[in-house]
Amino acid sequence: MLALRLARGAHPLVQLRRLLVTAAAAGTGFLLLCTLGYAMAHPDASARSVLRLAWCVAPMAATVYFAVAVARTDPGTRPRPGLSAIGLGPVRLMAVSAVTTALSTTLGSMLALLFFLHLRGDLTGMPFDGAAAEFLAADQPLPLPGALTLLALVPLAASVASALVLRPRGEKQARMSGTSTTAGTSPTIGTALTAGASATAGPPTTAGTTPTADTPPAADTDSTSTAPGTSADSPTPSATPSSATPHDFPVEPLDPQRPAVPQPAPGGLPWSVAVLAAGLAVEMYASRSGPAPGLALPGRLADGPAGVLAGWTLTAMGLVLAGPAITYLCGWLLQAVRPGALRLLAGRVLQEEARRIGQPLGVVCAVASGAYATATLYAGARPSFGPLSTLGALLVTGCTVATLVTAAVEAKHARAETTAALLRLGAPATMLRSAALLRAGALVAVFVPLTWAVAELAAMPLTG
């Protein structure tokens, strides 16, 4: 009930993101049901039916990835200080977010079932009733348990993935994963910018009190005095809060005199280069090892040896793993060779957001590399793109691009306090816009040639 109330009272842009998740889940569920219909219409081609089901893994993974990104940016389930006092701690909010994701994806699966039944002719009342009756084996009864099992894959995977990503973690783990411990703040940049403004405020005091001459000094840890009704061995509420978690407020208060330690550079670049090189080597070996069993995917997008497809998969994984490290490297390059205020700000922000936007950017580059390699492979011929192949390609491309846009919006909200601090210090708004354009230009200048080079190398074994 709480998840429904939060979903109903959300902002229109949040509702739009949830509707996009619903549309993606509907498309993926329809592909899974079409695989079931093909298996019913061709009972002797079990191997091709299994291959079509395996082909649906890519759209399903893209849909789940997009659903998790939307769940992370949902303001309705974002932890805030004081919610634990009314029973909405980090674990409860994590469960609410998982239920909200399950509701959106389940709605999409139900829409896919209705559309599938209309195409089979089981339901009437629309212009396209029974348009694909022969392909979807309308003369046979639909196995309801199998259809519901396939439709439950996307909601189950999306809700479990959302719960795992949003699970309560320590401050160090949250910073390593790219999520801030407080909503809408960037501790590293924000505290450094506001340190000068708060330097004269004096030492921090207890909330609701001000230091005066009549105020006694705070008791140190060696004091034996205790509050009435408590013992010396029992923890005090200020020492161990019952609901203090990293998602409510930081474990250690942010002190302007001691800014937080900057995040270390992502360390996945050597492994990503190794995986990328291994994928290219597998492709080269599979293309020159003579005749090998091929995998005829729907639409004939990759009628080639299975080793070549395995090499493409490893190459895509290498690009995904290299995304955060390359993004951090772009930020470092922006600050090289005596940077000014504009380049320094753009580089520092890019380094701070490397983990948040680097991985979605790597996924987009992997998809673009695969699309470019496919276009290069079929440059002289026109492959037979069927409606299901087109739907699958649109789902993968649309979900990855939408995930990148969602991550960029999340990064903008995360540095909102830093932006406000810069404006209070007198920074012109044009400089902030110029820094954003500089960051985007640096990412395009690095990732576009890298994607093109990887795509050319991936298509070379089959074209040459």
Residue 258 has phi, psi (to 5 degrees) of -130, 85
What distance in Å separates the CA atoms of residue 19 and residue 35, rounded to the nearest whole number? 24
What distance in Å separates the CA atoms of residue 38 and residue 35, rounded to the nearest whole number? 5
pLDDT tops 50 at residue 354: yes
pLDDT tops 70 at residue 246: no
| Average of per-residue pLDDT across 380-388 | 67
pLDDT of residue 11: 66
- As beta bridge partners, residue 304 has 295
pLDDT of residue 141: 84
Region of poorest pLDDT, from 283-297, 310-324, 382-396: 283-297
Region of poorest pLDDT, from 66-75, 116-125, 407-416: 116-125
pLDDT of residue 327: 93
| Average of per-residue pLDDT across 51-63 | 91
pLDDT tops 90 at residue 307: no
pLDDT tops 80 at residue 31: yes
pTM across the whole model: 0.75
pLDDT of residue 200: 38
Q: How confident is the model at residue 196 (pLDDT cuts 50, 70, 90)?
A: very low
The DSSP element (H or E) to which 331 belongs, if any, is helix 306-334
Region of poorest pLDDT, from 12-21, 121-130, 199-208: 199-208
Residue 302 has phi, psi (to 5 degrees) of -150, 65
pLDDT tops 70 at residue 183: no
What distance in Å separates the CA atoms of residue 367 and residue 383, rounded to the nearest whole number? 19
Considering only residues 37 and 21, tell me which one the structure prediction assigns the higher pLDDT.
Answer: 21
pLDDT tens for 93-115 read: 788 888 889 999 999 999 999 98
The full DSSP string for 404-459 is HHHHHHHHHHHTHHHHHHHHHTT--HHHHHHHHHHHHHHHHHHHHHHHHHHHHHHH
What distance in Å separates the CA atoms of residue 442 and residue 450, rounded to the nearest whole number? 13
| Average of per-residue pLDDT across 179-194 | 45
Considering only residues 257 and 376, tell me which one the structure prediction assigns the higher pLDDT.
Answer: 376
The overall average pLDDT reported for the chain is: 76
What distance in Å separates the CA atoms of residue 28 and residue 32, rounded to the nearest whole number? 6
| Average of per-residue pLDDT across 30-52 | 87
Region of poorest pLDDT, from 51-65, 193-207, 311-325: 193-207
pLDDT of residue 464: 57
Given a contact cutoff of 8 angstroms between Cβ atoms, the answer to whether 70 and 158 are in contact is no
Q: How confident is the model at residue 4 (pLDDT cuts 50, 70, 90)?
A: low
Residues across the chain: 464
pLDDT of residue 14: 78
Region of poorest pLDDT, from 5-9, 81-85, 230-234, 427-431: 230-234
CB neighbour burial string for 5-43, b if at least 16 within 10 angstroms, e if fewer: ebbeebeeebeebbebbbbbbbbbbbbbbbbbbbbbbee
